[in-house]
Every structure is written in structure tokens, then in C-alpha cells.
């Protein structure tokens, strides 16, 4: 049994989420080995590891899209992981596409499409994200204005992967691109850019809702 088959990714969490809250969300699906909550910088996300991969599969099926006080949770298997049989979700980046595409370069080796999507949510609603082995990636937005904001504000921004690797990424609008949205001029992971005089991290503003939330683990309403 692969350990990765028992591990799930949980994104689009409220800014004040705690590890105990996440345990309350998933305990009913089976024994949890650990919860790894990442909430130091940027939008919070977490990894949850179950004792049994079948429990992880049930958790993905039961909690993906779950409305947690107005936050529609994204629950899926990390890329390249998950059960050998398909459960219809969690097997890669979301399939919805749009024409409002940006190209990313300079990603650290451990940067995942989940990390990239979370980073780009500062600009607006992301409908698709993917990364490639050479440190490049592609992100698509639902609206043109969100794409343009990302190019203006997130170019040369500080990106942190779920493993803690940090890099300053470059962002540009895709004016043509190939069918898969890859950056046409390939760059190796070892290539670096000349640093600017001043760098600033994106300012995250995840507090879209201010009403209080009951922390009961028994929530059964779905969108």
C-alpha cells in the first residue's frame, strides 16, 4: 500500500481554520494519521492522511465541493497519487478551461498545480492551473480583468510551495500559446532572474465573509 494513496489535499479553507476543525470535517470517514495545516502565509490549505486509502477515497467523494461556512472546499488526491481505480475526481487539475490564460516561469521543483492555483487566487477566480517539470506553468481565469490583474500584480511575486520552497515567479499573458498552454520558450529550473530592487509578496485578502461559524463537526449540507 502506498502512503500517497491515503493522503488527500484540502484547499479553499477559511482563514481562521484550525487543525481540529479539519479533523472534525473528516473524522467520520476513518482513522486519521495526521493533519498537516499550512496557514503561515497566503490562503490556508492542508493535507490529511488516513490509515486506509479507502477512507481517503470516501473523504474525497464526500467533501469535495462541501460548503464550509460559505467556503466551497476543494478536496482531492495530490497529483500522481490517489486510488488506482478512478473515483471521478481528484486525479489532476480541474478540467474547466477559459481563454484568459497566463504563463508562469521560475517555479520551484516542489511547486504543485494546487500551490499555483492557491497563489493566483489573489487575482481572482482560477478555473484551471497546471505545472510542468521545467518550472513553468499555466493558469486560466474566469474573467479577463482577473488575468490582467495577475500580470500586473503577481509578476515577480514570492511563491511558496507546500514543501516550503520559495521562488520569485514571472507572470505574463499568453497571447497565442499552444494547445496545452505551455510556455513556448522553455526554461530550466536552474535558470534564475535578476532580482529587482524591491520585492513584495502578494497581499492576501481571504476574509470575504465575516459571519461567525459553528465549529461543529456534524455538517451535512451540500451545495
Domain finish residue from 60, 76, 92? 76
Please tell me whether residues 60 and 21 are part of one structural domain. Answer: yes
Is 115 inside a domain boundary?
Answer: yes
pLDDT band with cut points at 50, 70 and 90 for residue 62: confident
**Is residue 107 a part of any domain in this protein?**
yes
User: Considering 61, 76, 91, which residue would you say is the last residue of a domain?
Assistant: 76
The predicted structure's pLDDT at residue 211: 43
- Taking only the tens place, the pLDDT of each residue in 159-178 is 998 888 999 999 999 886 44
pLDDT at 8: 93
Q: Is the pLDDT of residue 2 over 60?
A: no
- Distances, alpha carbon 76 to alpha carbons 30, 36, 151, 190, 222, in Å: 16, 15, 28, 30, 17
Mean pLDDT, the chain, whole residue set: 75
Whether 24 maps to a domain, the answer reads yes
**Residue 135 domain flag:** yes
B/e letters for 136-147, b = 16+ CB within 10 Å, e = fewer, are: bbbbbbeeeebb
Name the CA radius of gyration of the chain, rounded: 18
pLDDT single digits (tens) 48-61: 999 888 888 888 88
39-43, 81-85, 151-155: least confident range: 81-85
Q: Rounded to 5 degrees, what angle do the CA atoms 72, 86, 44 make?
A: 30
3-state secondary structure of 26: helix
Model pLDDT for residues 189-212, shown as the tens digit of each residue = 333 333 344 444 444 444 444 444
Higher pLDDT, residue 207 or 13:
13
Q: Which of 38, 60, 76 is the last residue of a domain?
A: 76
pLDDT for position 25: 92
- For residue range 90-109, list pLDDT tens digits in order: 344 444 678 899 999 999 98
Shared-domain flag, residues 54 and 116:
no
* Residue ranges making up the domain that contains 163: 101-173
CATH of the domain at 43: 3.30.70.330
**Is residue 192 in a domain?**
no
pLDDT of residue 4: 66
- Give the whole-angstrom CA distance, residue 70 versus residue 5: 29
Pair 105, 169 in one domain: yes
Identify whether 199 is part of a domain. no
Instruction: Please indicate, yes or no, whether residues 11 and 65 belong to a single structural domain of this protein.
Output: yes
114 and 160 housed in the same domain? yes
Whether 130 and 163 map to the same domain: the answer is yes
Q: Between these two residues, 12 and 89, which has the higher pLDDT value?
A: 12
Percentage of the residues of the chain whose pLDDT score is greater than 70: 69
Per the structure, how many domains does the chain have? 2
pLDDT class of 181 with cuts at 50, 70, 90: very low
Does 211 reside within a domain? no
Band (pLDDT 50/70/90 cuts) for residue 184 is: very low
Amino acid at each position: 500500500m502506498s502512503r500517497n494513496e491515503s493522503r488527500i489535499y484540502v484547499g479553499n479553507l477559511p482563514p481562521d481554520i484550525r487543525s481540529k476543525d479539519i479533523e472534525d470535517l473528516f473524522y467520520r470517514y476513518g482513522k486519521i494519521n495526521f493533519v498537516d495545516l499550512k496557514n503561515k502565509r497566503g490562503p490556508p490549505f492542508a493535507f490529511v492522511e488516513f490509515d486506509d486509502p479507502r477512507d481517503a477515497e470516501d473523504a474525497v467523494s464526500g467533501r469535495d465541493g462541501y460548503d464550509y461556512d460559505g467556503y466551497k472546499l476543494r478536496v482531492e488526491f495530490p497529483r500522481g497519487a490517489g486510488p488506482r481505480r478512478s473515483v471521478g475526481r481528484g486525479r489532476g487539475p480541474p478540467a474547466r478551461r477559459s481563454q484568459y490564460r497566463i504563463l508562469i516561469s521560475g517555479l520551484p521543483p516542489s511547486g504543485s498545480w494546487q500551490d499555483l492555483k492557491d497563489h493566483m487566487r489573489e487575482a481572482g477566480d482560477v478555473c484551471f492551473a497546471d505545472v510542468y517539470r521545467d518550472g513553468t506553468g499555466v493558469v486560466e481565469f474566469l474573467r479577463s480583468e482577473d488575468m490582467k490583474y495577475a500580470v500586473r500584480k503577481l509578476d515577480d511575486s514570492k511563491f511558496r510551495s507546500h514543501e516550503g520552497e520559495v521562488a520569485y515567479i514571472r507572470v505574463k499573458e499568453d497571447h497565442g500559446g499552444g494547445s496545452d498552454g505551455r510556455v513556448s520558450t522553455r526554461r530550466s529550473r536552474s535558470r534564475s532572474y535578476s532580482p529587482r530592487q524591491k520585492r513584495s509578496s502578494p497581499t492576501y485578502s481571504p476574509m470575504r465573509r465575516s459571519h461567525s461559524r459553528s465549529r461543529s463537526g456534524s455538517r451535512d449540507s451540500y451545495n
